Amino acid sequence: GQQLNQSPQSMFIQEGEDVSMNCTSSSIFNTWLWYKQDPGEGPVLLIALYKAGELTSNGRLTAQFGITRKDSFLNISASIPSDVGIYFCAGQLGNTPLVFGKGTRLSVIA
């Protein structure tokens, strides 16, 4: 099946630093989404991207849908302790189920 390569697998950063993570695929998607998962909870949608080249922000978060439709990145600016969690990218083609990356575990050191 389709696979998404998400990197890095984990990150340890100082509070206040910017964070960048990305996802690549061998297949094209027409929707890219980014989710965050807190411990003991299900993933929660952060940003959805629907068009190649689209750049979307949600507060300190910015995500882009790659022009080739095979990649996406998520940036977090000025990280704070509550940014800790696992971040997942997900891609979708048409009406098929979402395919998820393996996640990036973010730890923030105060």
Partner 1 sequence: DAGITQSPRHKVTETGTPVTLRCHQTENHRYMYWYRQDPGHGLRLIHYSYGVKDTDKGEVSDGYSVSRSKTEDFLLTLESATSSQTSVYFCAISVSGQGIDYGYTFGSGTRLTVV
Give the contacts of 104 (CB within 8 A, at least 6 positions apart): 6, 7, 8, 9, 10, 11, 21, 86, 87, 88
How many C-beta atoms lie closer than 10 Å to residue 30's C-beta?
14
Question: Which of 14, 26, 41, 94 contacts partner 1 by CB under 8 A?
Answer: 41
Question: Counting contacts by CB under 8 A, is residue 44 touching partner 1?
Answer: yes
What does the CA dihedral 52, 98, 94, 55 come to, rounded to 10 degrees?
A: -20
Question: Counting contacts by CB under 8 A, is residue 98 touching partner 1?
Answer: yes
Least distance between partner 1 and beta carbon 41 (Å): 6
Least distance between partner 1 and beta carbon 72 (Å): 13
Sites of contact with partner 1 (CB under 8 A): 1, 6, 31, 33, 35, 40-45, 48, 50, 88, 90, 97-103
